[in-house]
Amino acid sequence: MNIMLFHSTYGLRPAVRAAADRLRAAGHEVWTPDLFDGRTFESVEEGLAFKDELGNDELLKRAVLAAAPYSDRGLVYAGFSLGAATAQTLALGDAKARGLLLLHGTSDIAANASVDELPVQLHVAEPDAFETDDWLSAWYLQMGRAGADVEVYRYAGAGHLYTDPDLDDYDAEAAEATWRTALGFLESL
């Protein structure tokens, strides 16, 4: 699989590179564009402030430009938290998308979004302040209406960005379960 993997609001940190290496070791080709021009952050608040300064349009433009050279190959879009939201936006707009792997995040869905049984897998903490139960229920229904084939995995007691070993959110057991399931998902595409 060809995978476009987007970083979280923390920036392109070692955990994102390690995830890409894990995916490569499983036989996938992976790109990890740096949408923050080398900037990384120690807190969600700092990263969100930078994202807001950059602007959503610029962030999306950077993501589209990063994916464009590879989209004809049929990409699987993937991302962590903010990067998952970015991946979702791109996947729903790319008729050649092969799949969508969301780690720790989702995004709004355009009312006219339409995909042809796009395989989607979401991994998220339970509870998660950024991905509330009500939000996830509505998101799931909207993705289904858009034509996506969605699987959702919840991890009780894990922190929001529980796959990043350098953060307080880290949960080794949930992270390993996520990667086992995600690798199986990618193999099925």
pLDDT, the chain, mean: 97
Give the mean pLDDT of 52-70.
97
SS3 143: helix
| pLDDT tens profile 96-119 | 999 999 999 999 998 899 999 999
**Cα separation of the two ends of the chain:** 8
- Cβ atoms < 10 Å from Cβ of 130: 16
Q: Please, what is the angle between helix 56-67 and helix 82-92, to 10°?
A: 60
Distance CA 162, CA 128 (A): 11
Q: Which of 6, 139, 146 is nearest to 64 (CA)?
A: 6
Distance CA 70, CA 43 (A): 31
Q: What is the pLDDT of residue 111?
A: 87
Q: Whole-structure pTM over 0.85, yes or no?
A: yes
| pLDDT tens profile 5-39 | 999 999 999 999 999 999 999 999 999 999 999 99
